[in-house]
Amino acid sequence: MRWQYHKLTSGAAIYAVTGGYFPTCMAMIGSILPDLLEMGIVRHRTATHWPPPWIVLALVSYETCRLFPNVWMYLFSFICIGALLHLGEDYLSVTGIPFLSPGSRRRGAELYVTGTMGEAILVMLVTGLFLLLAWRRGFFTTGHAMEEIVKVKSLSALFWR
């Protein structure tokens, strides 16, 4: 799947679930990591597209910030969740992702071929569905935006103190 599409679908999914601006941004960054980490060195859709390390990272970071609330760990956990969503989105393609080991045969749901109109339609459908859900949950109201802006301001104060 193309990077813009990964950001769209993952961002919409996390926004529909959390309604948070920061978790959504972090998930969008995480959603391109599996491809970014290949850096032209790792064979496409192998080690960086193998789910177990991402699942462990997401669980450990999520659990750590549940036990010891920490904003950095919280944001990191959404980067890992974004990466996992990337794997889920690639799984839906014809090429798929490896499951047994990083180099094992890739399996996919065969719903689209990367770079085709089918991919674009699927992305629009999934993104639209999540945005509709977010709208139904009241995440597009002015009141919600005001709450989120306060959070963004207090968190950015940590960066530029």
The site for Zn ion (CB under 5 A) is made up of: 34-35, 90
Q: What share of the chain is helix, strand, coil (3-state, %, to 5)?
A: 70, 5, 30
Q: Which is nearer to Zn ion, 90 or 119 (CB)?
A: 90
Two structure tokens written together for 84: 């996992």
Q: What's the rounded Cα separation, in Å, for the pair 146 and 128? A: 23
Report the residue number, 34 or 96, with the smaller CB distance to Zn ion. Answer: 34
Q: How far is the CB of 41 from Zn ion (least distance, A)?
A: 15
Contact in structure between 92 and 112 (CB atoms under 8 Å): yes
Please report how close the Cβ of residue 78 comes to Zn ion at its closest, in angstroms: 18
Q: Which is nearer to Zn ion, 25 or 84 (CB)?
A: 84
Supply the minimum distance, in Å, between the C-beta of residue 34 and Zn ion.
Answer: 5
Q: Which is nearer to Zn ion, 47 or 65 (CB)?
A: 47
Minimum CB separation from Zn ion for residue 45, in Å? 6
**CB burial class (10 A; 0-12, 13-18, 19+) of residue 8?**
buried
Residue 127's nearest CA partner among 1, 10, 2 is: 10
Token pair 């104060």 in the structure block, residue? 157
